[in-house]
Amino acid sequence: MRRILSILVVLSVLLLAGCATKTRSDALTTTLKAYGSTLRWGDFRSAAQFIDPAVRTAHPLTPLQLARYQQVRVSEYDDGAGPVPSGDFDVQQTVLINLVNIHTQSERSVVDHQRWHYDEKAKHWWLTSGLPDITQD
* Domain enclosing residue 110, as ranges: 2-127
Q: Per the confidence metrics, is the pTM higher than 0.85?
A: no
- Say what the pLDDT of residue 99 is: 98
Distance from the first to the final alpha carbon of the chain? 68
The span from the CA of 101 to the CA of 130, in Å, is: 21
Candidates 29, 56, 32, 30; CA nearest to 45 is 56
6, 11, 92, 102, 136 from 113: Cα distances, Å:
45, 38, 7, 24, 12
The span from the CA of 119 to the CA of 90, in Å, is: 10
With respect to residue 134, please indicate whether it lies within any of the assigned structural domains: no
With respect to residue 132, please indicate whether it lies within any of the assigned structural domains: no
How many structural domains is the chain composed of?
Answer: 1
With respect to residue 103, please indicate whether it lies within any of the assigned structural domains: yes
Question: What average pLDDT does range 108-117 have in this prediction?
Answer: 97
SS3 content of the chain, % helix, strand, coil (to 5): 45, 30, 25
The span from the CA of 64 to the CA of 80, in Å, is: 30
With respect to residue 17, please indicate whether it lies within any of the assigned structural domains: yes
User: What digits encode the pLDDT tens for the residues 36-69?
Assistant: 999 999 999 999 999 999 999 999 999 999 999 9
With respect to residue 87, please indicate whether it lies within any of the assigned structural domains: yes
With respect to residue 136, please indicate whether it lies within any of the assigned structural domains: no
With respect to residue 137, please indicate whether it lies within any of the assigned structural domains: no
Task: With beta carbons less than 8 A apart as the criterion, state whether 45 and 132 touch.
Answer: no
CATH of the domain at 44: 3.10.450.100
- Say what the pLDDT of residue 7 is: 52
Given a cut of 70, whether residue 6 has pLDDT beyond it is: no
Task: With beta carbons less than 8 A apart as the criterion, state whether 115 and 21 touch.
Answer: no
How many residues are recorded in the chain?
Answer: 137
With respect to residue 135, please indicate whether it lies within any of the assigned structural domains: no
